[in-house]
Structure 1
Amino acid sequence: MPELEQLSVPRPPADAGRIQRNILEEHVELWWFKDPKKSILCYGVAVVLILACGTGGIVLLYSTSSRSGEWRLAVGTTLCLLALLVLLKQLLSSAIQDMNCIRSRNQIELLKSGGFSDCVVLLLSALVLLVCGVVLTVLSTTTMQLSPSRPLASMFTSGVILMTAGAAILLCLLLYVLSTSCCPVAPRRLGTGDISIFTISSRLAVNRRLATTSSMANLI
């Protein structure tokens, strides 16, 4: 009789959150795509930054034969190196992801698009653009005061453009960090009613009983 009573006791509903975590733990490669919106946003910003810095650097290097070629050479080289740095970060993250040589969740969160490494690269880019813009603006203003006849309008314009771009990137980065830190994704809790929870392997329907299938079967 006691055994029959134990068998007749209804089992508690399965924990959907634990099932989802177990599925993600089984497939570490899925952690690279945990937040697709953030990844697409950061990847798009990186592509725009590479194209803008690369194009600006090439234009400045191409015009070094004109007057004030020294600052064009310096700023153009800096912009090209900055574009290569951002591109190197993206290629490195893609290579590590393809090789699947990292199994730590924390390291994946740092290296993936939308992770901590993207924030560091964007911060460095903003600081480089700001420094270059300030230096060009100060030099052009000082030189114009010493010799007003010297045409340095392009130098001043380039400095203002670089300062504006650096300040815009820094402001967007600050808003991004504040939005991601102050508005974390709240975990959903299971109640007594009908709750649908989307997982990577399948769509689980919870109505006092939770039925799921193997994650490997769904992936196949």
Structure 2
Amino acid sequence: IYELGPGLGFNGPADPAQIQHSILEEQVELWWFREPGKSLLCYCVAVLLILGCGLGGVGLLSTTTSVSSEWRLGAGTALCLLALGVLLKQLLSSAVQDMNCVRSRQRIDILKSGGLSDNLVVLITGLSLLICGAVLLRLALANHMPKPGQALNDMYISGVVLLAGGGAAVAGVGVYSAVVVLLERTRQGRRLMDRVVNIFTVSGHMDHQARRETTSSLANLI
């Protein structure tokens, strides 16, 4: 088996590993698992968000009293909704993957674990946590509670925890996006260098072959 160069004719024997890689690249089912490390990282983050928001929301709702009913109900409901939203995204991605109804590489890169959709979900969740935490801290510092005391302390602590969790989620998305962009640029640079090297290599082989043919023609002519 010989490999054809881009407009340059035969480029020598084809690499079996390259042929196998090309065949695997054409399998749509494998596009969902091209970067297992990134997918595993984003999946773990999604599980942590689901558990953290879900348990926090259930904890606030279960400890609701007459003194702190309003803010506990509001914050607990918001956390449960965020947990359900993240869980719904994971279920939808799994359903689309199992049905194999998406055949576009670009759409798969967006929907798969570690894609753009995961970044948006984590970012929205982090911003929501920041907003909830800021509201609770403002209410606690403004002393809007009817009877300041243990309930006010709980509100302040909940606000700080939500702010810390939301800030960590937003900062994590920023760092993750920056690292992904840097890695992509590095890969593109390497691919460009490999192409340049291959072009020069093929050109060198062709020049050498042309010189041999010219020498042979001159010898025959003589």
Provide TM-score, normalisation by structure 2: 0.75
Q: Distance in 1 between matches of 2:62 and 2:103?
A: 45
The answer for unaligned runs of 5 or more in structure 2 is 1-8, 199-222
Query: Matches of 1:81 and 1:116 in 2, distance apart?
Result: 21
Q: Where does the alignment leave 5 or more consecutive residues of structure 1 unmatched?
A: 1-8, 193-220
1:23 aligns with 2:24: yes
1:70 aligned partner, one-letter code:
E
- 1:177 — aligned with what? 177
* Deviation of 1:23 (Å): 2.7
Q: Distance in 2 between matches of 1:104 and 1:10?
A: 32
Judging changes above 3 Å, is the alpha-carbon distance between structure 1 residues 10 and 78 closer, same or farther for their aligned structure 2 residues?
A: closer
Q: Which has the higher contact order (CA 8 A, sep 6+)?
A: 1
Q: Deviations over 1:107-157 (max 9, x none)?
A: 00000000000000000000000000000001110016x97x611010011
Q: 2:121 is paired with a residue of what secondary structure? A: helix
**Match of residue 142 from structure 1:** 142
Secondary structure of 1:130's aligned partner: helix
How far, CA to CA, are the matches of 1:123 and 1:73 in structure 2?
24
**Residue 211 of structure 2 aligns with which residue?**
none
State the shift of 1:11 in Å.
5.0
Aligned-pair identity in percent equals 50
Please name the residue that 1:83 is paired with: 83
SS in 2 for 1:12: strand
* Structure 2 match to 1:211: none
Q: What secondary structure, in the 3-state scheme, does the structure 2 residue paired with 1:183 have?
A: helix
1:80 partner letter = C
Aligned match of 1:217? none
Q: Which residue identity is paired with 1:165? A: G
Q: SS of the residue aligned with 2:12? A: coil
Counterpart check, 1:32 vs 2:32: yes
More helix by share: 2
**Alpha-carbon deviations, 1:174-217, whole Å to 9, x = none?**
1100000012262564879xxxxxxxxxxxxxxxxxxxxxxxxx
Q: Give yes or no for the alignment of 1:58 onto 2:58.
A: yes
- Structure number with greater Rg is 2
How many correspondences in the alignment?
Answer: 181
